[in-house]
Amino acid sequence: MSDTGGVAIRVQGAVKHYGDLQALAGVDLEIRQGEFFGLLGPNGAGKTTLITALAGLTRLSAGRIAVMGQDVVADYREARRMLGVVPQELVFDPFFTVREVLRIQSGYFGVKDNEAWIDELLANLDLTAKANANMRTLSGGMKRRVLVAQALVHRPPVIVLDEPTAGVDVELRQTLWKFIQKLNEAGHTIVLTTHYLEEAEALCTRIAMLKAGRVIALDTTANILSRVSSHALKVRLAHSIVLPERLQARLVKQEADEMSFSFEHYDEVESVLTALRAAGGVLQDVEITKPDLEQAFIGLMSKA
């Protein structure tokens, strides 16, 4: 096994073309062992392409990827053993029970006599009561828990979670993150893609943001947050108005009659509220918030 140098995932010059479409345009990335790393970007940014290349499910047009020092093409078998991927799609075999699925998955990796670990996975993902239930009888949330268990059944040192909480309930989200954080504390490297930016902000110590197949930001979560203005003023109006030009320059986000404006100092708040009233705005709710990852994400994407 080659020396990893403390690097769990190394991506070098990753390029991927699908005909005329360039999904990855030269991605360079190193994720250190034991990190909780966020991979963020809008739809079509290249996140899923990078993950499928990492898992050996698609070949790069140029560049290379290694997992724990093992090249995903030249050393595919070893690289795959080092990796557990929880896919976005709910892919399952309808003919087996939950426990049978996990035993079969273990067999793919040559893992034997791991009933104790399967039981631990079932308990941590709140699946024990469903262990002997057929997969086709499970709800969408339960099926997603099984996908997580499948990805972890061979105890991989690197775990990739591709939108793991998309469309799932709050209970599963909390159960999943509690278990994943426990694995991270035990030394597992976690890579997360999510559209729930508050999850990434709470969990990830470092983040890469992708746009159009390129890395446009790569830094600690704290440093990325420091790039946006120190605070935001959120307001909800009784009806829509035409914003004055000077307020448009401060506008960070708008959804119907809810708006967020950036400001640096508290004495700027009153001037924003005064301008809104002067423009015919009737205030229904006002909130001052600290910078969040969503602000940083929107700002970085618009500048890139």
Q: pLDDT tens-digit profile of 106-143?
A: 998 889 889 999 999 999 998 999 999 999 999 888 88
| Helices 98-108, 140-152: crossing angle, 10 deg rounding | 30
Average pLDDT over residues 182-204: 91
Any idea what DSSP says for residue 242? P
- Cα–Cα distance for residue pair 84/37, rounded to 1 Å: 15
User: In terms of pLDDT, which residue wins out, 37 or 268?
Assistant: 37
Note the pLDDT of residue 256. 77
Torsions phi, psi of 103, nearest 5? -65, -40
- The pLDDT > 70 percentage for the chain reads 97
What residues does CATH 3.30.70 cover in the chain? 231-303
Domain made up of 7-225: CATH architecture: 3-Layer(aba) Sandwich (3.40)
Strands (E), 213-296: 214-220, 231-237, 251-255, 258-263, 283-289
Nearest CA-CA partner of 270 in 254, 259, 286: 286
Note the pLDDT of residue 84. 94
Q: Are 194 and 167 in contact (CB under 8 A)?
A: no
pLDDT of 3 strictly over 60 = no
- Sort 167 into a burial class: Cβ within 10 Å, 0-12 / 13-18 / 19+: exposed
Q: 22-34 pLDDT, tens per residue?
A: 999 999 999 999 9
pLDDT of 2 strictly over 60 = no
Encoded amino acid at 203, one letter: L
pLDDT of 297 strictly over 70 = yes
Question: Domain 231-303: which CATH class?
Answer: alpha beta
What residues does CATH 3.40.50.300 cover in the chain? 7-225
Q: 156-172 pLDDT, tens per residue?
A: 999 999 988 777 778 87
- Cα–Cα distance for residue pair 214/26, rounded to 1 Å: 7
